Amino acid sequence: MTVAGGRVTGSLLSLLLAALMLSAGPARADAAATAVQAQQRAKDVTQVVLGILSYARWPTEPVPLRLCLVGPTEYADDLIKGNLQNSGQPLQVRRLLADDRALAQACDAIYIGKLDHAERDRLFQAVSGHPVLSISEADDPCTVGSLFCLRVSDQQVAFEVNLDSVARSGVRIHPSVLQLSRRRAVQP
Amino acid sequence: MKATNKTRARPTLRSVLGRGHLSVALLAVGLVGISLTLLGVLALRVYANHNLHLIARSINYTVEAAVVFDDSVAANEALELIASTEEVADAKVFNNDGEQLAHWQRNVDGLLGHLETRVATALLGEPINLPIRHKQQRVGHIELIGQGRSLLLFMLGGLGGILFCTLLSAFVALHLSRRLLGDIVRPLRALASVAHAARRERSFDRRVPEAPIAELNELGNDFNALLDELEVWHSHLQNENATLAHQASHDSLTGLPNRAFFEGRLSRCLRNAARQQDHMALLFLDSDHFKQINDSLGHAVGDEVLINVADRVRAQLREHDLVARLGGDEFAILLTPLQSREDAQRIAEKIIASMQLPMQLDSGGSINTSLSVGIAYYPDDGDDSASLLNAADAAMYQAKRTRRGQWQAAQTERSAAEIKNRS
């Protein structure tokens, strides 16, 4: 309840902020709208990422769950702020560089921001053979590499699953998540 | 009037039996049917609630992922998948913020649908509220309202069953009461008809037949015994009456009818004769010297003589003729029908002749007696009993005066006129 209340006040505050910005001048209206939208997207992305993590099973249960943000991310601010998974499992979030050698050992899950092809290939080479759950934020055809690829829009945050990668990674994903993702993929 | 009203107000045995059977049958069926239906509804309610909980739990599992990802479309699809095939009227999925993620509602159509809703709200109570958990953490909840279809169908079936059983048992009860009524009423009717016959027609020869029911059979037997006694008593009474009637109309010494009987018959015959224009003759007989016999030989001999005279006179008469002892030594004879005066005279002569033989007395010895006879004719000598008797009496005295032991026809003015007319 307190969490919900906090959220409500948070959204109220942001609305107030938006209203202030709107009153400040029509020139700034666009920027304000995108700020509110960005906030909403970040919130949705956080929920989806936490949901995926909650439905994943590692060969040995990591305590705490170490989530690494790699590369420039757009919606991961909320992830950094919060340190609790919604299942109550402790979550440790930190930023790492894409070519960090210890990445495969230091992370159970990686949230991948904008990376170029070379960086991406190196990253996946580094984690291959380790049970690491990878989620791509930016546009990713989801054919090689990442287990989950987010499709962020204003309406909702959808995701796709690369079943080959899931099978190879050694991380088990609950079937209902797979079902959810496939259905979403089919959706236009 | 009052009595008939009273009897009309009283219920017949048939209605009493019918009502009794019917009420017992209806009570039994009603109690059993209602209690069974109530028990069934209660049991079914428990199962329906349990079932609803199971449905809620399976919905929970199905929509769990959709709620975690806050995916309204997926939640709706999962909800519909389950709810549409189960007995659910309304299902809602909420996330932790209290926002409604998915809603499914069964189309309520027609009277049956509304009835189902009523039954569901009345019997299933509050909607089921179950939290959705993911990793022991509450992520949302669902609200489920059950559909009262099976309950409604059961209740309708129960009602139908009660109705059918009521009709069936009413039919059977009426049939049984009719049969029982037959067994009871048949002997009672027989009893009533026998009693009625005994009361109205004095026919004591009928008896009540045997009855299949012991008490009624006993009643019938007792009634029959009572009838036996009544019959004996009645016949005894009739014999007494006959004897008394005979004694009242007959002379005890000679056994001949007495004066009252004779006069009654005479007036009746006169009426008949007047109507049919018949002729009759009235003979008046008197024993000659009877007073002397009585005085010299005693009353016993006098009685003996009278009996003898009566026997002899009776022996001379035809079938329909009547002889009576009017009193003392006086006898009267009514000859009817009469063809001619000569017939009467011939009979008078035969009677006089029958006296010529001496009478044997019980004490030994014999006695001679004679009769004087007066004849009066109807309608020549009178057309009523008094005038005829007077005429015959007068003729008899005339015979006594002229010559005892002879007959004499009446010679009234009327008869003289008749004779004159004829000549």
Longest dimension (CA), chain A: 55
User: Which tens digits make up the pLDDT trace of B285-303?
Assistant: 988 888 888 888 888 888 8
Task: Report the pLDDT averaged over residues B258-269.
Answer: 91
- Interface contact B65-A51, CB threshold 8 A: yes
User: Which tens digits make up the pLDDT trace of A80-117?
Assistant: 876 555 556 788 888 888 887 788 888 899 999 888 88
Shortest Cα–Cα distance, A87 to chain B (Å): 5
**Structural domains of chain B in order of their starting residue, each with its CATH number:** 11-170 (3.30.450.20), 202-249 (no CATH), 259-422 (3.30.70.270)
**Percent of chain B, pLDDT > 90?**
20
Q: Are B281 and B377 in contact (CB under 8 A)?
A: yes
Question: Could you tell me if B74 lies within 8 Å of chain A, comparing CB atoms?
Answer: yes
CB atoms within 10 A of CB A39: 18
- Interface contact B69-A180, CB threshold 8 A: yes
Distance CA(A157)–CA(B169), nearest Å, equals: 69
pLDDT score of A188 more than 60 = no
- Interface contact A156-B65, CB threshold 8 A: no
Mean of per-residue pLDDT scores for chain B: 86
Residue from B69, B99, B136, B139 whose CB has the most chain A CBs within 10 Å, to mutate: B69
In terms of phi and psi (left: phi > 0; alpha: psi -120 to 50; beta: otherwise), the region of B71 is beta
Structure-model confidence comparison of residues A1 and A114, the more confident one: A114
Is the bond leading into A64 cis (omega within 30 degrees of zero)?
Answer: yes
Q: Are B273 and B378 in contact (CB under 8 A)?
A: yes
**Percent of chain B, pLDDT > 70?**
95
**pLDDT (0 to 100) of residue B318:** 86
Structure-model confidence comparison of residues A4 and B185, the more confident one: B185
User: Which tens digits make up the pLDDT trace of A14-38?
Assistant: 544 444 444 444 445 566 778 888 8
Residues with Cβ within 8 Å of residue B12, at least 6 apart in sequence: none
Which chain B residue's Cα is nearest to A155?
Answer: B71
* Closest to A157 measured CA to CA, from A50, A8, A14: A50
Residue B135 has its nearest CB partner, among A7, A54, A177, at A54
Q: Which of B90, B286, B321, B329 is catalytic?
A: B329
User: Which tens digits make up the pLDDT trace of B78-128?
Assistant: 889 888 888 888 899 998 888 899 999 888 777 877 888 888 888 777 888
Task: Report the pLDDT averaged over residues B357-386.
Answer: 86
Distance CA(B339)–CA(B336), nearest Å, equals: 9
User: Which tens digits make up the pLDDT trace of B302-322?
Assistant: 888 899 899 999 898 888 889
Residues with Cβ within 8 Å of residue B6, at least 6 apart in sequence: none
Mean of per-residue pLDDT scores for chain A: 77
Question: Could you tell me if A184 lies within 8 Å of chain B, comparing CB atoms?
Answer: yes
Question: Could you tell me if A92 lies within 8 Å of chain B, comparing CB atoms?
Answer: no
In terms of phi and psi (left: phi > 0; alpha: psi -120 to 50; beta: otherwise), the region of B105 is beta
Note which residues in 362-391 of chain B have CB less than 8 A from chain A.
none
User: Which tens digits make up the pLDDT trace of B11-55?
Assistant: 887 888 888 888 988 898 889 888 988 898 888 888 888 888 999
**pLDDT (0 to 100) of residue B113:** 79
User: Catalytic annotation on B329?
Assistant: yes
Q: Domain residues of chain A, as ranges?
A: 42-186
Angle at B4 between CA B3 and CA B10, to 5 degrees: 95
User: Which tens digits make up the pLDDT trace of B231-254?
Assistant: 899 899 999 999 999 888 888 888
Q: Are A184 and A68 in contact (CB under 8 A)?
A: no
CA A88 to the chain's CA centroid? 18
Distance CA(A142)–CA(B64), nearest Å, equals: 25
pLDDT score of A7 more than 80 = no
Q: Which residues from chain A sit within 8 angstroms of residue B134, using beta carbons?
A: 54, 86-87
Q: Which residues from chain A sit within 8 angstroms of residue B98, using beta carbons?
A: 4
Helix (H) or strand (E) holding B122: none
Q: Is the dihedral of CA B204, B209, B210, B214 positive or negative?
A: negative
Residue from B68, B132, B136 whose CB has the most chain A CBs within 10 Å, to mutate: B68
* Closest to B148 measured CA to CA, from B180, B100, B115: B115
Going by the DSSP 8-state scheme, the letter that residue A27 receives in this structure is G
Q: Are A99 and A107 in contact (CB under 8 A)?
A: no
Helix (H) or strand (E) holding B340: none
- What are the DSSP E strand ranges found in chain A? 56-57, 65-70, 91-96, 109-112, 133-136, 148-152, 157-161, 172-173
Radius of gyration of chain B (CA): 56
pLDDT score of B284 more than 80 = yes
User: Which tens digits make up the pLDDT trace of B146-156?
Assistant: 888 878 888 88
The yes/no answer on whether domain A42-186 falls in CATH 1.10.1660 is no
pLDDT score of B266 more than 80 = yes
- Interface contact B65-A180, CB threshold 8 A: yes
Q: Are B67 and B93 in contact (CB under 8 A)?
A: yes
Which of A63-67, B59-63, B400-404 is predicted with the least confidence, judged by mean pLDDT? B400-404
**pLDDT (0 to 100) of residue B205:** 82
Residue B65 has its nearest CB partner, among A55, A88, A89, at A55
Instruction: Categorize the per-residue pLDDT at B385 as very low, low, confident or very high, splitting at 50, 70 and 90.
Output: confident
CB pairs under 8 A between A and B: 46
pLDDT score of B264 more than 60 = yes
Distance CA(B275)–CA(B64), nearest Å, equals: 128
Distance CA(A79)–CA(A91), nearest Å, equals: 9
- What are the DSSP E strand ranges found in B183-293? 280-287
Residues with Cβ within 8 Å of residue B96, at least 6 apart in sequence: A4, B138, B139, B140
Give ipTM to 2 decimals.
0.72
What six digits make up the tokens of A69? 């943000």
- Interface contact B65-A87, CB threshold 8 A: no
Question: Could you tell me if B68 lies within 8 Å of chain A, comparing CB atoms?
Answer: yes
Question: Could you tell me if A51 lies within 8 Å of chain B, comparing CB atoms?
Answer: yes
- Interface contact A87-B97, CB threshold 8 A: no
**pLDDT (0 to 100) of residue A185:** 47
Q: Are A97 and A122 in contact (CB under 8 A)?
A: no
pLDDT score of B179 more than 80 = yes
